[in-house]
Chain A
């Protein structure tokens, strides 16, 4: 059915999407929390930065990342100084790229959920003597679980379909940086339309199922907790 190289591309894509979502949860949750609570003037600037990947062509992101991850770039130079290599053409580099690329898909649902919660539940928890971290973990996170679910699923699904960024900084190494969208692109280039169809259909079904699942779950939540 699938050639070994296509299987590798599929596995790599799923791994990339998974790792990216984890990274974004760790970095995006505090950011979304801060955005939802702050009165700072910086808020609008940060919100605009978070939303940039929605409107910028992925190639722009990919181009800047290629320069930044290279040996003379900010991120690549730092990595070299720490004893690593430059990061373009590596899985780590793809994770960094994907994290930028899918940032709004994780941060925005979380920020929305935290804002929808209002201040009341946390104030009540504070009166009962809960510490800020305790308040966040036992009150805010459970209340925002729909936001978390949406963030995880959208971040994952969005990274699955990534193309422009990976094309710029991946280097198309089978098994290392060749993700499914690049494999499809190559098949089309080589006029191997059968393999392109197989992979495309797979991605389509996968993305559709993921989105279906999240909408179904969201509905269940809203029915159970009106």
Chain B
């Protein structure tokens, strides 16, 4: 079969690099934001953005196994740091693009009050969280509930979404009464969605530091990451309810 393999090799070498396409793996919580960002970026740069969303844990495993992404926008700093440690990224490309905020949200207007009585009374059937083992927002939710002394008590009432997107879906479809979701999912253009919510104080959980890494050194990927750090990009990220790292 040497003929075939050399022909294949030739084909691979002679394929033009799609320099104007950038493939982004994004943690589910940032999907809405990156969609808006991409639209603006595409208009401005002429590049095309292809978005794949999932849980940070799964995306990491896929990247480790050769998934063809140029940029990884994670929901934590652990997995990007791990990729950097494994020399799987463009050196020096890891940075914090957003700071996540955890919100307890319900589509019911009267359910969540300022004292979180609904939590303290356990007055609900199901509480949705993201899977703490794989999703950073789930880990944060676990920290908050543990801090309130409720983690053990709710073990039978908690439903775990595979990622924060599915967690939101559980609450939105009212299969779960309330859930810990990302602020970005229930907040846009400076407005909370209908329902009731409690923005969890930042001191109740370790900061959700969301980091980006560049996996392949293409001009389009570099341009996209630069756009995320530009004033225009930062404004969109903040409009979705994220903090941005002032230290950069």
Name B133-163 residues within 8 Å CB distance of A: 133-134, 156, 158-162
The reply on A72 being an interface residue by CB < 8 A is: yes
- How many Å lie between the Cα of A154 and that of B162 in the bound state? 28
- How many Å lie between the Cα of A185 and that of B162 in the bound state? 10
The reply on A69 being an interface residue by CB < 8 A is: yes
Given A171-B159, A188-B61, A189-B58, check contact A88 B131 (CB 8 Å). Answer: no
Segment touching A, from B33-41, B171-179, B195-203: B171-179
How would residues 58 to 98 of chain A score, 1 for a CB under 8 Å from any chain B CB and 0 otherwise?
00000000110111100010000000011011000000000
Residue of A nearest to B56 (CB): A189
Determine whether the beta carbon of B133 is less than 8 Å from that of A171.
no
Determine whether the beta carbon of A72 is less than 8 Å from that of B174.
yes
How many pairs of A and B residues are in contact by the CB < 8 Å rule?
60
- How many Å lie between the Cα of A169 and that of B166 in the bound state? 10
Secondary structure at the A interface, as helix, strand, loop or mixed, is: loop
Determine whether the beta carbon of A88 is less than 8 Å from that of B58.
no
Secondary structure at the B interface, as helix, strand, loop or mixed, is: loop
User: Which chain B residues lie closer than 8 Å to A89 at the CB level?
Assistant: 126, 159, 175-176
Determine whether the beta carbon of B134 is less than 8 Å from that of A71.
no
The reply on A195 being an interface residue by CB < 8 A is: no
Given A172-B131, A186-B131, check contact A71 B156 (CB 8 Å). Answer: no
Determine whether the beta carbon of B175 is less than 8 Å from that of A69.
yes
Residue of A nearest to B60 (CB): A191
Residue of B nearest to A69 (CB): B175
Chain A: residues with Cβ within 8 Å of the partner, total of 23
Given A71-B175, A186-B133, A189-B134, check contact A171 B170 (CB 8 Å). Answer: yes
Determine whether the beta carbon of A66 is less than 8 Å from that of B133.
no
- How many Å lie between the Cα of A86 and that of B126 in the bound state? 10
The reply on A173 being an interface residue by CB < 8 A is: yes
User: Which chain B residues lie closer than 8 Å to A171 at the CB level?
Assistant: 126, 128, 159-161, 170, 175-176
Given A173-B156, A190-B57, A191-B61, check contact A86 B175 (CB 8 Å). Answer: yes
How would residues 25 to 57 of chain B score, 1 for a CB under 8 Å from any chain A CB and 0 otherwise?
000000000000000000000000000000101
User: Which chain B residues lie closer than 8 Å to A185 at the CB level?
Assistant: 162
Name A182-213 residues within 8 Å CB distance of B: 185-186, 188-191
The reply on A167 being an interface residue by CB < 8 A is: yes
- How many Å lie between the Cα of A76 and that of B173 in the bound state? 12
Residue of A nearest to B160 (CB): A172
Q: Which 3 pairs from chain A and chain B are nearest by CB? A: A171-B159, A88-B175, A172-B160
Identify 7 residue pairs between A and B in the complex whose beta-carbon atoms are under 8 Å apart, listed by A's number: A67-B173, A69-B175, A171-B128, A171-B161, A171-B175, A173-B160, A189-B134
B residues whose Cβ falls under 8 Å from a Cβ of A: 55, 57-58, 61, 125-126, 128, 131, 133-134, 156, 158-162, 169-170, 173-176
